[in-house]
Amino acid sequence: MDVSYLIGLFATVTFSVTGVLAARAHNMDLVGIIVVGVVTAVGGGTIRDMILAVPVFWVADANYLLAAVAAAVATFLARDRIQRRMQWLLYLDALGVAMFASLAVVKSLDLGLGAAPALVMGVITGIGGGIIRDLLTGRPTLIMSRDLYATPILFGVAVQLLLLRMPGVDPALATVIGGALIFGSRSAAVFFHWQMPDILTLPGGDS
Amino acid sequence: MDVSYLIGLFATVTFSVTGVLAARAHNMDLVGIIVVGVVTAVGGGTIRDMILAVPVFWVADANYLLAAVAAAVATFLARDRIQRRMQWLLYLDALGVAMFASLAVVKSLDLGLGAAPALVMGVITGIGGGIIRDLLTGRPTLIMSRDLYATPILFGVAVQLLLLRMPGVDPALATVIGGALIFGSRSAAVFFHWQMPDILTLPGGDS
Amino acid sequence: MDVSYLIGLFATVTFSVTGVLAARAHNMDLVGIIVVGVVTAVGGGTIRDMILAVPVFWVADANYLLAAVAAAVATFLARDRIQRRMQWLLYLDALGVAMFASLAVVKSLDLGLGAAPALVMGVITGIGGGIIRDLLTGRPTLIMSRDLYATPILFGVAVQLLLLRMPGVDPALATVIGGALIFGSRSAAVFFHWQMPDILTLPGGDS
């Protein structure tokens, strides 16, 4: 049981928690809640593994499913206490995204992918579960928001890939730096309410 | 041509019929209707096979496609007569769900999956097509409803898995019992308007 | 570098352009726009390759990703000039659909699929990216419209498959004719505002 395994489990738990809380205003029953929690937790990685044509991670190791279900049930039970700390959860979500995305890059490179597809796999793994959650619960997808969500992933993963190309850089260190940059920039975006400058944004309006 | 093959074709037809009727208020043309019918019929099994990394069932055997298309067209033609029997269709849908889910568990176990992933595959196969149908037609997904839909699947598949673990139980019998429990509990939920008790439900409201 | 490779790249660019423009009323930032452009461009082909169990095309060859990103950024920059030519874009989109769908049929047949699954793969490749785009951006999916979109694909691909079965017909010619029929009939539907006759359409209304 290595460190990246534990990190993956921890990220699974954080995604399940945030998935359940995102769904909480929807008059859902416990089974629906568990479905949303599990899908949010494992959805991105499932798409990643299907595209990579490797065995889907939770089929080979049921611990991910058990962790996601346990986290969803615990979140349901403790929802009143947790809801008062919603802001805090955005940072937990940022941590999960950072871990999933940077590990997905490692997995993709290990399978022989080039830098561009590996970067895409990082983004898919980071945002896939959240997008499926939004679709299942009828919310605007996170892509539709001006909140910076995909951008920090793109930024951190790009740095990670650059570092991995540099001779003499420890791959583990590059991955930790990539993940830390995702977490740090996403957290800063949450804390300071960063948005893309208007010049990089399409004005809303009639289509 | 064995019994489970015929059951699979029958479930495909029932899902195509219910998919077309779910889409019927949407001003769709016949081709759109066929697409929705086919996607509802084969969507869950397609996701199942992609996750299991086995050949997708309708690629290897076009009979499933032909059955789904024929059922969609027939439903379009007979829609006025069928719409007066909508309640009856919920039981037909329950039957399709029961057959797809319990057979998916058998297929998953045959491929060496553990109990937890096999249970998830049963749920995915049972609700996957319906969720894609809801997304395509812009309806709230079936996960968002307090109707018991995923719960009967979870219940029947769990019993099926328990029975399959018990020594001396005929696997075919365990599968039939699992399917019958899904069909029976879903039908009872429809007939008696069962919902989850409030204590197992998130109150709707502001998020 | 053969002709079908260049055609695939060109279709990728056209889909990315139309994906970005479809999303343009949504107050999205540049990163979201790139995500939508790329997903629209490669989404249909990704589902096709996952169902066919072959390596996903953009994993093996990053040029598709680079083309989609470049097209999305260029469309963002030139959006004011492009928006005045929106009608023109529907024909560009029709061209992309025609190329993707007819090439998907060839790929499917080369892998040993029968005519019915190959036809479905053509439709999936033609409309898959657009449907994911609609879901991500919260628009009614293209299936929900009475515009003829899937119908021209079905028509052209069916003729292509018939021609490929006839002895003495050059496969390349059959593919070109199939693609031309898709493009021609979709363009005519756009130009003349064709819709399915009422008798082949479900009346909208209460469900």
Are B30 and C135 inside 8 Å of each other by CB?
no
**Is A25 close to B202, i.e. CB distance below 8 A?**
yes
pTM here is 0.91
Cβ distance B144 to A136 less than 8 Å, yes or no, reads yes
List CB contacts (< 8 A) between C131 and chain B.
136
């420890």: which residue's tokens?
A: A170
Residues C135, B135: C-beta atoms closer than 8 Å: yes
Q: Is A173 helix (H, G, I), strand (E, B) or coil?
A: helix
**Does B29 contact C200 at a Cβ distance shorter than 8 Å?**
yes
d(CA B56, CA B46): 6
- How many alpha carbons lie under 13 Å from residue C199 in its C-beta half-sphere? 0
Is the CB of C29 inside 8 Å of chain B's CB atoms? no
Q: With a CB-CB cutoff of 8 Å, which residues 76-115 of chain B face chain C?
A: 76, 79
**CB distance B29–C196 less than 8 Å?**
yes
Contact A40, A129 (CB under 8 A): yes
Instruction: State yes or no: pLDDT of C86 exceeds 90.
Output: no
pLDDT at residue number B205: 45
Local confidence band at A63 (pLDDT 50, 70, 90 cut-offs):
very high
CB contact under 8 A, B62 and C151: no
Nearest CA in chain B to C196: B29
Reduce the DSSP state of residue B175 to 3 states and report it.
helix
Q: How confident is the model at residue A25 (pLDDT cuts 50, 70, 90)?
A: low
Whether the ipTM is more than 0.85: the answer is: yes
pLDDT tier, C206 (very low <50, low <70, confident <90, very high otherwise): very low
By CA distance, what is C58's nearest residue in A?
A: A117
> Which of A19-33, B183-197, C173-187 has the weakest average pLDDT?
A19-33
By Cβ distance, the residue of A24, A53, A138 closest to B144 is: A138
B185 vs B127, B128, B155, B180, B188, CA distance in Å? 15, 19, 8, 8, 5
Task: Check CB contact of C23 with chain A, cutoff 8 Å.
Answer: yes
Q: How confident is the model at residue B64 (pLDDT cuts 50, 70, 90)?
A: very high
B150 interface with A at CB cutoff 8 Å: yes
Angle CA B73–B77–B82, to nearest 5: 105
At A186 the pLDDT is: 94
**Residue B83's closest CA among B12, B18, B177, B148?**
B18
* Residue to substitute from A18, A34, A35, interface B, most B β-carbons within 10 A: A35
User: Which residues of chain B have a CB within 8 Å of the CB of A26?
Assistant: 144, 202, 204
Best to test chain C binding among A108, A110, A119, A207 (most C CBs inside 10 Å): A207
With left for phi above 0 and alpha for psi between -120 and 50, is residue A78 left, alpha or beta?
A: alpha
**Distance, CA of C157 to CA of C179 (rounded, Å):** 8
- Per the CB < 8 Å rule, is B66 touching C116? yes
B102 — pLDDT class (breaks 50, 70, 90): very high
Least trusted range by pLDDT, from A83-87, B8-12, B113-117: A83-87
CA distances from B22 to B69, B76, B86 (A): 16, 12, 10
Smallest CA-to-CA distance from A31 within B97, B144, B103 is with B144
Specify the pLDDT at position B29.
Answer: 84
Contact partners, residue A170, CB within 8 Å, separation at least 6: none
Residue type, B92: L
C140 touches A: beta carbon within 8 Å = no
Is the Cβ pair C137, A143 closer than 8 Å? yes
A25 vs B contacts (CB less than 8 Å)? 202, 204-207
Q: Can you tell me the mean pLDDT for B187-200? A: 86
Would you give the DSSP letter of residue A62? T
pLDDT, mean over chain B: 89
Could you report the per-residue pLDDT of C136-162, keeping only the tens digit for each?
Answer: 988 888 888 778 889 999 999 999 999
At A113, give phi and psi (nearest 5°).
Answer: -70, 155
For the purposes of burial, counting CB atoms within 10 Å of the CB of C56, is it exposed (0-12), middle (13-18) or buried (19 or more)? Answer: buried
Q: Is A181 helix (H, G, I), strand (E, B) or coil?
A: helix
Q: What share of chain C has pLDDT > 70, as a percent?
A: 95
SS3 label, residue B147: strand
Q: Is B55 at the interface with chain A, CB within 8 A? A: no
Res. B61: pLDDT tops 70 = yes
3-state helix, strand, coil in chain B (%, to 5): 75, 0, 20
Q: Which residues of C touch B79 (CB under 8 A)?
A: 202
Check if B16 contacts C (Cβ < 8 Å). no
Answer whether B136 sits within 8 Å of C141, measured CB to CB.
yes
Does any CB of chain B come closer than 8 Å to the CB of residue A68? no
Q: What pLDDT does A105 receive?
A: 96
CA pair distance B122, B102, nearest whole angstrom: 6
pLDDT of A205 > 50? The answer is no
How many beta-carbon contacts under 8 Å exist across A and B? 85
Q: Using one digit for the tens of pLDDT, what is the confidence trace for C147-204?
A: 888 999 999 999 999 999 999 999 999 999 999 999 999 999 999 988 888 778 876 5
| Distance between CA atoms of residues A29 and C152, nearest Å | 43
> Do residues A11 and A3 touch, judged by C-beta distance below 8 A?
no
Look at C143 and B66 and tell me if their CB atoms are within 8 Å.
Answer: no
- Does C53 contact chain B (CB < 8 Å)? yes
- Structural domain spans, chain A: 3-196
The answer to whether the Cβ–Cβ distance between B29 and C120 falls below 8 Å is no
- Residue matched to tokens 């949407």: B26
Residues of B in contact with A137 (CB under 8 A): 141, 143-144
H or E element, residue C203:
none
Chain centroid to CA C206: how far?
32
Helix extents (H) in B57-141: 57-60, 63-77, 79-83, 86-110, 115-136
Name the average pLDDT for chain C.
Answer: 89
Q: Is the pLDDT of residue A60 over 60?
A: yes
Cα separation, A80 vs A28, in Å, equals 15
Give the chain C residue nearest B58 (alpha carbons).
C117
pLDDT tens-digit profile of B147-157? 888 999 999 99
> Can you tell me the mean pLDDT for C40-59?
95
Chain A residue numbers with beta carbons less than 8 Å from the beta carbon of B204 are 25-27
Tens-place pLDDT, residues B19-60: 888 877 667 888 889 999 999 999 999 999 999 999 999 998
pLDDT of residue A65: 96
Tell me the two tokens of residue B121. 């595959």
Task: Please list every residue in chain A whose beta carbon sits closer than 8 Å to the beta carbon of residue C28.
Answer: 143-144, 146, 201-202
In chain B, the residue whose alpha carbon lies closest to the alpha carbon of C145 is B28
Q: How far apart are the first and last CA of chain B?
A: 52
